[in-house]
Each structure stands twice: as C-alpha cells, then as structure tokens.
Amino acid sequence: MKETRFKPAQHDAATPTTLSSEASFTDYFTFIIERADLKMSRGKLAAQCAHACRLSFLSFLNKSPGTIPSEADSSAFGSIVVLKAKSELQLKKLFELAQERDLPTHLFTDHGHVISGTVFDGQPVLTALAIGPVQRARIDDATRAFSCA
C-alpha cells in the first residue's frame, strides 16, 4: 500500500504557534486523526480520539501560556475535524511534520487497556493523533491527504 508523502507548508520561521491578536478563535482548528486499520469499536475509537485531543490541548496550553482570554466560550478555538489514517506509518509521519512545525500535538498510545480482539495482543498501540488548536493554514497542506472519518 502506498503511503502519503507530505510537503512542508510555505511559511517563515516567524509564524506564531500562539494566538495572534489579528486571528479570530474561529480561525483555529483541532484535527484528530484516527487509525482506521485497527477495527476498534466506535466507543473505543471515540475514547482514543478524546484522549489525543485532550492531551494536544494541554500541549497548546504549555506552548502558549496565558492565551485563553476570559471571554472564551464553547465556540473558542474553532472547529474539530476528525480524519482517518490508513496506517500507523501515516499517523507517525503526520505527527513528525506537526512537531517540525512546532504545533501543539499528541500521538496517543493505548497501553494495554484495549478491548481484546483479533488486532490487539496486549502491546502498546498508537491509536490516534491530535493537532491543535492551530491556524488551519499551518497544517492544511498535510491534512488534505486524509479523508473524513
């Protein structure tokens, strides 16, 4: 199976990771990428995606302390988009690209708390990746290669 190759976005090193005063919270997205090849139940998959999203948001807070204004509400930090990766390798490549761009991200590994079945043998398994909140333009070139979940 052919793996997706990613081209780096064209932006200078001064592109901010943190919220800029010109950007609206609605300009920000969180991308969650699930492993479609694992055949997890919908509930288990939702939990894995939620773990990755929560930990990516914590990464955002660590990279950008003091960026959440008091007027932030449930619409703050834009939309959440769920995509699917065909393989662990595809997930890892996108994670590496997000790290190269210094984006808030988390690659979630399930450490044996998975539902037993034909896919899992009790070993840690990479299950989901979250990137963001981030301005869509910072990662859109790479996420376009994935289909919606």
What pLDDT, in 10s, does the model give residues 69-94? 555 666 666 789 999 999 999 999 99
More reliable by pLDDT, 94 or 149:
94
CB atoms within 10 A of CB 48: 24
Alpha helices in the chain (DSSP H): 42-63, 88-100, 140-143
pLDDT category, 16, cuts 50, 70, 90?
very low
**Cis? peptide before 133, omega within 30° of 0:** yes
Dist CA 24 CA 127 (whole Å): 31
pLDDT given for residue 77 in this prediction: 67
pLDDT category, 13, cuts 50, 70, 90?
very low
What pLDDT, in 10s, does the model give residues 31-75? 999 999 887 888 888 999 999 999 998 888 888 777 665 556 666
Mean pLDDT score, 2-9: 35
pLDDT given for residue 8 in this prediction: 34
Give the contacts of 125 (CB within 8 A, at least 6 positions apart).
Answer: 38, 109, 110, 114
pLDDT given for residue 79 in this prediction: 87
